[in-house]
């Protein structure tokens, strides 16, 4: 049997607050346990990992993603429903780029709002693994913010005020920001609003982290307007340029991020360029609230 030689990965931080590039791995074949442990350690520490030149098949992407834990089934209404992959694409079934008012394009716009994947589920996602299959030559970056860093830099009075707050997260609400009819009846039925903690705790470092994004529609105990004002103010604070790591895609990049402690958003790109990314989403293991 092969011995665990603990190869040292080349890990290069990308931003003072989050993100690191990992070089020297080929994810097409399984990593040995010692190497995977180093990837997990980097994931915990940096929250966003970037690996270039990973030309993965769907099966290879699924196999690597499952190392992190069970995957979420792709929800109704998303391209890829019935599998464990989400196809984020502006390419229609006929191979042409869809028009700007097409559902796939509207969902692309909804992804351009700061969010954490699946925060609208009672047990929200742990991680996302996004593979760049076709990327536009300009625009279409994906941006990330460390919500641990945001928490650290929020004024103490605000931290004390929001520490024990509970937010309602609602898929129909975030889609409604783009188009009132974007969330279909089937999606609304499958995804009723859920309650989430506004502040989470990082399991290894013990740091606290703000947990809000586009799906957050209300704060328990506050009027709708007041709650939304607070949510919007906090997300605006989080989105300040100094917090943002912006990823410029190359084809065959694989990005891995921790949805518990980051938010992300896509950026606009010229509508005539095809863009096709494939995501596997690692399920979380517990709700953010005990009840």
Instruction: Provide the binding-site residues for ligand OGA, judged by CB under 6 A.
Output: 88, 111, 117, 128, 130, 142, 264, 266, 277, 279
Contact between 21 and Mn ion per CB under 5 A? no
Alpha-carbon distance of 122 to 97, in angstroms, equals: 34
Closest residue to bound Mn ion by CB: 117
266 binds, among Mn ion, ligand OGA, none (CB under 5 to 8 A by kind): ligand OGA
Alpha-carbon distance of 60 to 39, in angstroms, equals: 17
Alpha-carbon distance of 267 to 270, in angstroms, equals: 10
Min. distance of Cβ 257 from ligand OGA in angstroms?
9
Residues 6+ apart with CB under 8 A from 31: 25, 39, 64, 67
Q: Which stretch binds Mn ion (CB under 5 A): 7-15, 93-101, 115-123, 149-157?
A: 115-123
Q: Which stretch binds Mn ion (CB under 5 A): 77-85, 114-122, 150-158, 204-212?
A: 114-122
Nearest to 167 by CA among 202, 97, 215: 215
Alpha-carbon distance of 249 to 229, in angstroms, equals: 33
According to DSSP, the β-strands at 254-258 and 85-89 are unpaired
129 or 154, CB closer to Mn ion? 129
Min. distance of Cβ 138 from ligand OGA in angstroms?
14
152 or 267, CB closer to ligand OGA? 267
27 or 88, CB closer to ligand OGA? 88
Alpha-carbon distance of 57 to 99, in angstroms, equals: 28
35 or 111, CB closer to ligand OGA? 111
Min. distance of Cβ 100 from ligand OGA in angstroms?
16
Closest residue to bound ligand OGA by CB: 266
Quick one: which H or E segment has residue 132? strand 127-134
Alpha-carbon distance of 214 to 113, in angstroms, equals: 6
| Cβ atoms within 10 Å of 4's Cβ, excluding its own | 11
130 or 198, CB closer to ligand OGA? 130
117 or 141, CB closer to Mn ion? 117
Q: Which DSSP state fits 250? A: -
* Maximum CA extent, the chain: 62
Contact between 117 and Mn ion per CB under 5 A? yes
15 binds, among Mn ion, ligand OGA, none (CB under 5 to 8 A by kind): none
142 binds, among ligand OGA, Mn ion, none (CB under 5 to 8 A by kind): ligand OGA
Per-residue CA distances from 88 to 38, 78, 184, 195, 275 (Å): 29, 9, 18, 27, 8
Q: Which stretch binds Mn ion (CB under 5 A): 117-125, 150-158, 192-200, 282-290?
A: 117-125
104 or 184, CB closer to ligand OGA? 104
Chain contacts with Mn ion (rule: CB under 5 A): 117
């Amino acid at each position: 049997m092969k011995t665990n030689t603990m190869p040292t990965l080349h890990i290069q931080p990308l931003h003072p607050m989050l993100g690191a590039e990992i070089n020297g791995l080929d994810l097409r074949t399984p990593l040995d346990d010692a190497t995977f442990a180093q990837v997990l350690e980097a994931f915990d520490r940096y929250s966003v990992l970037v690996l270039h030149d990973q030309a993965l098949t769907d099966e290879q992407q699924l196999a690597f993603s499952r190392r992190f834990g069970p995957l979420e089934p792709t929800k109704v209404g998303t391209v890829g429903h019935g599998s464990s992959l989400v196809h984020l694409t502006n390419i229609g079934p006929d191979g042409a780029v869809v028009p700007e008012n097409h559902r796939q394009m509207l969902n692309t716009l909804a992804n351009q709002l700061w969010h954490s994947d699946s925060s609208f589920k009672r047990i929200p996602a742990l991680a996302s693994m996004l593979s760049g299959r076709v990327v536009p030559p300009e625009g279409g970056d994906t941006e990330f913010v460390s919500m641990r860093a945001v928490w650290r830099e929020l004024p103490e009075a605000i931290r004390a005020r929001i520490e024990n707050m509970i937010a309602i997260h609602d898929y129909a609400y975030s889609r409604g920001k783009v188009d009132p009819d974007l969330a279909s009846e089937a999606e609304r039925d499958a995804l009723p609003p859920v309650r989430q903690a506004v502040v989470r705790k990082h399991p290894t470092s013990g740091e606290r982290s703000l947990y809000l994004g586009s799906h957050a529609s209300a704060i328990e105990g506050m009027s709708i307007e007041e709650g939304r004002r607070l949510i919007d103010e906090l997300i605006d604070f989080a989105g300040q340029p100094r917090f943002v790591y912006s990823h410029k895609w190359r084809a065959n990049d694989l990005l891995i991020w921790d949805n518990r402690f980051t938010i992300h958003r896509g950026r606009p790109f010229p509508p005539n360029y095809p863009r096709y990314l494939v995501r596997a989403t690692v399920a979380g293991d517990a709700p953010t609230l005990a009840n």
